[in-house]
Amino acid sequence: MGDLIHTWPALTDLARHRPDVTVSWLAEEGFADIPGLHPLVSRTIPIAWRRWRKALFKAATWREIRTLRHTLAATRWELVLDAQGLLKSAIPGRWARGPLAGYDRASIREPLASRFYDRRYAVSRQLSAIERNRQLFGAAFGYRPEGAPVFGIRCGARLAWLPAGDYAVLLHATSRDSKLWPEAHWIALAQALQRQGLAIVIPWGSAAERERAQRLAAAIPGALLAPKMTLREAAALLGHAAAVIGVDTGLTHLANALDVPLVAIFTDTDPALVGGVGTRAANIGRAGEIPAVDAVLALLARVRGA
C-alpha cells in the first residue's frame, strides 16, 4: 500500500508536464481502491500475486493469470513503467507488451528485475521513496520534477458514523510486530488528546488488529471503535480528522497524502526513506527506539499549528 501512495506525487508531476497522458495502474487486488483516488488514474487493473502464490498448483490460479495477461496485452501502451522495482511487478509489466521502463541495476530494489526493462534510469537510492518515484517518472517522460511533492488526491465525504466534532485517529496496527508502539503508550496518548477536546477513533483491519483495537477502546472511555471499512472509507475517515497518529503502516502514509496533521511513529524503519513529508507531518523514532508519549504530543501540537 505504501508503494502505491508514494507514487501519487509523481502522478501529480506527470499531469502537470504531460496533460495529454492517461494512466492505467496495475495494483494488488486488496489495494485496488487506492490508485483511483488520484484524478489522473482512469483505470485500475487488479492483480492477485498474494493470493496466487498460495495456490500456484490450482487450475483456477492459472486461468486468472491467463486472463490478466490477455487484459494487459489487449491495450497498445505508449509506455509501461515499473515504479516498484521488483520481479513481481516487472513480470506483469512485460506481459503488457509495451516499452517497459524502470530503475537501472544500481538503483533498483531487486537488481534482477532491471533485466526485464527496455529502458533503464539511474535514480539515487539515498532519496526518499516519494522522490525516487518523482525522479523515475521525470526521466521516463522527459521532464525535471520541481518543488515540494503534491499528492493531489481526494478524501471523499465525511462518514456518517463519525463524531460531530473534531477527532483524532489512532493507527495502531502494522504488518510487523517490530513496528508496533506499546498499548500503554496509545492509552496515555488518547487520554491526553481527550483532555484537549478531541474524540478518539480507533480503526482496524484484520482480526488480530480488531482485538488490539477492542482492548484500546475498552481502556479509553469514550473512544469509538471504527467499523470494518474499505480503503476509500478509510481515506474519508483520515481526510476529515483533526489529527492522526500512526505507526509505519499504509494508512499512515495515506493520512500524509491527505495533508492532515500527522505524527508518524517509527520503531523499526528509517523515517528518512519512508517518513511523512510536508509541514503538517512529523516523524519520530528509528529502529530500536520507542518514542515517548510526551514527545509525540509535542510534535502533534507543532503540526496542528502549522
pLDDT in tens, 115-144: 999 999 999 999 999 999 999 999 999 999
pLDDT at 241: 98
Cell numbers placing 170: 489512532
pLDDT at 223: 97
pLDDT at 306: 59
User: Longest C-alpha distance within the chain, in Å?
Assistant: 58
CB-based contacts of 186, cutoff 8 Å, min separation 6:
170, 172, 216
Specify whether the CB–CB gap between 98 and 78 falls below 8 A.
Answer: yes
Specify whether the CB–CB gap between 223 and 201 falls below 8 A.
Answer: yes
Torsion of Cα atoms, 155 then 161 then 164 then 170, to 10°: -70
Cα separation, 153 vs 156, in Å, equals 10
For the chain, residues with pLDDT lower than 50 are: none
Distance of CA 35 to the CA centre of its chain: 10
